[in-house]
Amino acid sequence: MRVKSPVCLMFGMCLFLFAACSYRQTAVDFSRIALEEGDLVFRRGIGVKSQAVLSADTAGIYSHSGIVVRLDSGYRIIHVTSGEREKGEKEDRIKIESPETFFAADRAEHGAVYRIKEARNYAAEAASHAKRLLEKGVLFDHDYVLEDTTQLYCTELVWYVYQLAGKDITNGKRSELNNFPLFSGVYIFPSDLYGNNEFNLIYKF
């Protein structure tokens, strides 16, 4: 039987303690937030993947994003991520959740809602495209290829649906990685989105 080295055990313990200490201690009352279709939502996750995003996005304070849509049952968040499969799912794919679930304390240390300042028709159309992609069941892009939209990662999703609506919410901004472990290339990071001054900060916690 292979015995884990003291270094591995120490690393695992540090990750456990980091996650445990990062959990929010207070609940957020999302019923008090006047959400609108097309709002962008961001969260700072507490897991190892979130820390990897934050390490790569040196200007960033959030690690994941989604877009607000309206259904008969109220406002929901459409996003795409890895490692949060529904029961029975074999692949990571686009999903829809309540704000309470998206920002749950075991997923988000901090969060924020941003809204486009002008041309609100872009927001409604972007939300409509997000619903269409949800119906298609678009898969998560584990290769993070920005040029291929048949599969999408989180920031690519919200950028893409606004792009389809006729609005580039990045203003062409991209982030390039050259020496980051396991990744190199051009990406859209969360900070490439909420750093756009065409969006207003509506709420944060």
Q: Which two tokens stand for residue 35?
A: 């959400």
Predicted local distance difference test score (pLDDT) of residue 48: 81
Predicted local distance difference test score (pLDDT) of residue 180: 67
106 near 23, Cβ under 8 Å?
yes
Q: Give the chain's radius of gyration (CA, Å).
A: 17
Predicted local distance difference test score (pLDDT) of residue 4: 40
Predicted local distance difference test score (pLDDT) of residue 26: 57
Q: Which two tokens stand for residue 159?
A: 């950028």
pLDDT tens by residue, the chain, 205 residues: 434 444 333 334 333 334 434 454 456 787 788 899 999 999 998 878 788 788 878 788 999 999 999 999 899 999 999 988 888 889 999 999 999 999 999 999 999 999 998 767 899 999 999 999 999 999 999 999 999 999 999 999 999 999 999 999 999 999 888 766 666 789 999 999 999 999 999 999 9
